[in-house]
Chain A
């Protein structure tokens, strides 16, 4: 059986806007359950809640590492779609501020490409739940294009 290739999935996502195949080609994104949609010209990311994502069972709140991983991945996907080349960018620096606990429900994320250099891109990422005016976390990421 031929292994599905990430490169092929990236190319397909860019041409046909078929983002499901792209997520399916990234095992950890599939495990977390990340979804991606185009909403009036802007890409939006979605993490559906499931009990395995909980970090603090008392609140309950989604694990901080999961929120970070989701936002890192949003930045990577956003870059893949925006850069129009079938390669995986390398995220080398990431920083996240947790503003509120992420409750046991859907997480949304949106990226803002702040600086688009020739080799390095700088991005800001925002995560929220019910109300986009009340962000759960704000993050920033540096990615190298290859």
Chain B
């Protein structure tokens, strides 16, 4: 183990493995049943056990500073919240409703116009009540725009909109 390993965030190993297509279906449903994700046109890039990656194509409405052509930091928050939530859904043995308790963002450099955004997240700890996530948002892989950490409360309500969406498909 190198010193650097202490700083990398690893997705938990899921106790109950789902088939690979379960995660991609879950990811697609998640982005399509969330009106805000759909409105911004968030796209699923990949989803697997306890981790997820979504993309957001650049569009002019995302700008926060038209003089310097920079994307608004609020866009990054939306992406961070969505991708972190999806990573938790991908870590759960069965679907349950989750609620974001807190979200913390470090905006390391501005996101620029005309480049798509990519957000990836892992759920690195899933306890009985709480899920912990870490996310990275970037335009160029080697130069992250922001890092985010979040915690989610599990089973926040009995009804799960994702479950309904998946059920209605069958």
Contacts and interface: CB of A to CB of B under 8 A. Distances in A.
Specify whether A and B are partners. Answer: yes
Interface of A: 3-7, 25-32, 51-59, 63-66, 68-70, 72-73, 76, 88, 90-98, 101
A52 B36 CA distance: 5
Interface of B: 33-37, 39, 60-68, 71-75, 77-82, 85, 97, 99-108, 110, 157, 159-161, 164
A31 B85 CA distance: 23
Contacts of A98: 99-103
A7 B73 contact: no
Contact of A56 (B34, B61, B79): B34
A69 B103 CA distance: 11
A91 to B, nearest CB: 5
Contacts of A96: 77, 102-104
A64 B157 CA distance: 16
Contacts of A72: 73-74, 77
Given A72-B73, A73-B74, A94-B104, A52 B39 contact: yes
| Max count, chain B CB within 10 A of own CB: residue among A25, A30, A31 | A31
A10 to B, nearest CB: 10
B101 to A, nearest CB: 6
